[in-house]
Amino acid sequence: MSSSMSSTDHNDHNDNMTVSTPPSSPPSFLYKSPNRGRKRSSGGMLRGYLTTIQATQSAIEAADWSELSDDELERTKIEHAHVAHKVELYTQRLQTETSVREAMQVVYSDSNAELELSAAKMDELERTLSRHYRRLLSLRTKLLHHNAAVLLKFIHHNNLLHTQPTPSQLDSRHFHANNDRAWLSGSEGVIGSNDQPSKGKAVEKTKTIETINETVVAERVNEATHAILSENETLQQRLREHLEESHGRTTQLDSAVQESAHYKQLLNDAHSAHTQQSQHSTNLQSRLQSLLEDFSQVVTMRDGMTSNLDGLCGVLDTHNVAYKRHPHNPLDTFTSAIASIEAQLMLNKENTSASEQMTYLTQEKNTMRQRFDYYENQMQQLSDVIANQRLDMETQKQQWSSVAGEQKQRVTSLEEELGEANMRIRSMEADVAFYKDSNAAYERELKSREDSRHSSGVSVSEEKLSMQALKGLWKVLPNSSHRPPGQRLIDASSAALAQSDIDKLKQVLERWKERSFEKYDLRAFVGCVRTLIDDNRFFIERILHNAETANLYKGNAEKAHKLALDFKNALEGYKKQVLDLQNSLSQAARRDAEIRKDREELREQLTVAQRDLVTQQQGGEVEKLRKSIVNREDEIQAFKQLQMDKSLGMLDELNSLQIEVADLRQKLRQK
């Protein structure tokens, strides 16, 4: 009676809740509570009618479902656990393959064959996972139909769904079915009207029998409903665990995607840096081409000036010779006077021409100085570009070094996890082997005793020996009374064990000492044996799961190791290319220094030439001026040849740099 009251109170509490959770006790329409009439109102009566209608509709829908036999139910449960394990395993494989494909999309962006192979593998995994998931849903539906059929059979067997009385049949006894005062008042009215005491006694006996039957039925329904609700709670707990595990895997997948995006960003930065280097090289080549064109114009102008000076000097010499050798010269007799006058005239002419030439040369010198300043600015810009390229190369080198270090750390961590998984697998295999040996020895002993009992009969002494043997095993078996039936020994579903699981295992191994204080019980002994069998099955499933996880970790570690080796080889090649490029830059810097030195020497020569021109202008020495002009022309030709050689050398260097940049770009695309 107390259990019925507690279940009714709990049911009233569940009616006020808005969350659709399964009740912890059977519905109120399946039996009549003793205290029901004291607290029930019109709203409670309507809820009872609605609940009865819903239960009747559910019973009608469940009429087409059949219950399973014991063997078929056991096979279905085993297959359900096996298929659920396969679904979990293939889900992990699909997530891992997705991460691998994203990494391959970053590394092998131009390799269609690798990406197609990975896509085909992912499609195959998705089809397999979909097939197993459909089978899992079918098995779950089958088990739920079995539970509904069993409950419906129990309800029909005990005739729990009675026809509810109509409102016209309701009286005070319906609202106070177990109220003694209301019943007595109603019965006294009947006795007073009919004067039949025997009928009142018969009604009281009938009431007592109905109350006892209702109590028994309520207890049975309560037990069955508690069993069904415990199974539902177990299923909900497993569903929550699967949801939490899927959330954790989703988090891992997000982190892997972020890491792949980071690697992709690094590769894009390297590609953009190489593109900028190629653009800088193209700009340098165009600038050098423009400098060569300007220099060729200067050389052409210098050649024109030299030819004009040669023509002017030739004309002066011709006129001088013609005047001296003229046959009709009337001034032969006055040779000395004419020579002095002629010398003065020639000196005046030479001074005039020298001053004009000096003015032209001064203007040309200023033009050349401006051009040299322009060339100096261009060389400074070229030096800045080379320094920026060197800094970019150092930055890329550091980035590649950091990426290689991260890959090495990742490979090391994967190898450590693989070693830990192998150690856990070996320990679990040893535990399972121990449990298998213990169970096999116990089964052999029981079988031998049962065979001997059937063959030759069992005497009192043999029964005593059997009881002693069972009591000895009772002392050795671990105590399972500390955990409820159906609860697993280990709660964790992953490969790693929590500290709480380790403590539980230690407590199980140490509980055999408690057997000396407990009394032997056959039911408890059978419960312990069944618990050991369940634990043995659970450990075998866990070992299979750990073995498959270890194989998966091993494959991932091998792939990561191979990827790290590829990164290492690429980094070595890149370092070699960086060293070659640094050597080329150092050679270009040395050539730049030589060009600057030649420019300073040419500037000094121009200063000396300017001084010589001033001296020639003051002294009026035309011959020295002519020789100086010839020397300057030779120097200009030599400087022209030197600049052409240096320009050709710089062009060759730029071409080699462009070839190296193209090779680097091709290698990066291949990777």
Q: What is the mean pLDDT of the chain?
A: 66
CA dist 377 and 640 (Å) reads 19
pLDDT at 319 over 60: no
Q: Rg (Cα) of the chain, in Å, rounded?
A: 54
Q: Which range, 11-25, 164-178, 483-497, has the best average confidence (pLDDT)? A: 483-497
Higher pLDDT, 60 or 596: 596
> Whose CA is closest to 626, among 415, 310, 284?
310
Q: Among residues of the chain, what percentage have pLDDT more than 70?
A: 39
Weakest-pLDDT range from 74-78, 315-319, 525-529: 315-319
Instruction: Please work out, in degrees rounded to the nearest 5, the angle formed at the alpha carbon of residue 369 by the alpha carbons of 368 and 372.
Output: 85
CA dist 470 and 463 (Å) reads 10
pLDDT digits (tens, 9 = 90+) for 485-503: 555 666 555 556 667 766 7
User: What are 372's two structure tokens?
Assistant: 């040299």
pLDDT at 225: 63
Taking residue 96's Cβ as centre, other Cβ atoms within 10 Å add up to 20
Weakest-pLDDT range from 28-42, 286-300, 395-409, 410-424: 28-42
pLDDT at 633: 74
The band of 266, judged by pLDDT with boundaries at 50, 70 and 90, is: low
The band of 419, judged by pLDDT with boundaries at 50, 70 and 90, is: confident
Query: What pTM, to 2 d.p., does this model score?
Result: 0.24
User: What are 482's two structure tokens?
Assistant: 């500390």
- Mean pLDDT of the 420-432 span: 71
pLDDT digits (tens, 9 = 90+) for 373-393: 776 676 677 667 767 766 777
Q: Which range, 64-73, 80-89, 277-286, 399-408, has the best average confidence (pLDDT)? A: 80-89
- Longest CA span, the chain: 199
pLDDT at 661: 74
pLDDT at 301: 62
Weakest-pLDDT range from 128-142, 404-418, 450-464, 495-509: 450-464
User: What are 550's two structure tokens?
Assistant: 């270890």
pLDDT digits (tens, 9 = 90+) for 203-215: 665 666 666 656 6
Q: Among residues of the chain, what percentage have pLDDT more than 90?
A: 0
pLDDT at 356: 66
Taking residue 349's Cβ as centre, other Cβ atoms within 10 Å add up to 13
pLDDT at 249: 65
CA dist 80 and 135 (Å) reads 9
Weakest-pLDDT range from 7-11, 316-320, 423-427: 7-11
Weakest-pLDDT range from 101-110, 287-296, 408-417, 601-610: 287-296
Cβ within 8 Å of residue 629, ≥6 positions away: 306, 309
Taking residue 287's Cβ as centre, other Cβ atoms within 10 Å add up to 14
- Mean pLDDT of the 85-105 span: 83
Long-range contacts of 409-416 (CB under 8 A, 24+ apart): 410/560, 410/564, 411/557, 411/560, 411/561, 411/564, 414/553, 414/556, 414/557, 414/560, 415/557
Cβ within 8 Å of residue 456, ≥6 positions away: none
pLDDT at 17 over 70: no
pLDDT at 188 over 50: no
Higher pLDDT, 352 or 103: 103
The band of 189, judged by pLDDT with boundaries at 50, 70 and 90, is: very low
pLDDT at 352 over 70: no
pLDDT digits (tens, 9 = 90+) for 228-262: 667 667 766 776 776 677 666 667 666 666 665 66
pLDDT at 190: 40
pLDDT at 25: 38
The band of 31, judged by pLDDT with boundaries at 50, 70 and 90, is: very low
Higher pLDDT, 598 or 350: 598
Q: Report how far apart the first and last C-alpha atoms of the chain are (Å, whole number).
A: 79
The band of 145, judged by pLDDT with boundaries at 50, 70 and 90, is: confident
- Mean pLDDT of the 434-455 span: 67
- Mean pLDDT of the 64-69 span: 78
Query: Does residue 316 sit in helix, strand or coil?
Result: helix
- Mean pLDDT of the 611-618 span: 67
pLDDT at 129 over 80: yes
CA dist 643 and 115 (Å) reads 54
The band of 292, judged by pLDDT with boundaries at 50, 70 and 90, is: low
pLDDT at 606: 76
Decide: 99 and 256 in contact? Cβ < 8 Å. Answer: yes
* DSSP structure string for 174-229: HHTTT-HHHHHHHHHHHHHHH--HHHHHHHHHHHHHHHHHHHHHHHHHHHHHHHHH
Taking residue 5's Cβ as centre, other Cβ atoms within 10 Å add up to 13
pLDDT at 61 over 70: no
User: What are 633's two structure tokens?
Assistant: 């022309």
pLDDT digits (tens, 9 = 90+) for 615-650: 666 665 556 666 767 777 777 777 777 777 776 777
pLDDT digits (tens, 9 = 90+) for 541-557: 777 777 787 778 778 77
The band of 275, judged by pLDDT with boundaries at 50, 70 and 90, is: low
CA dist 405 and 228 (Å) reads 56
pLDDT at 185: 40
Q: Which range, 24-38, 328-342, 480-494, 566-580, has the best average confidence (pLDDT)? A: 566-580
- Mean pLDDT of the 275-291 span: 63
pLDDT at 2 over 80: no
pLDDT at 120 over 70: yes
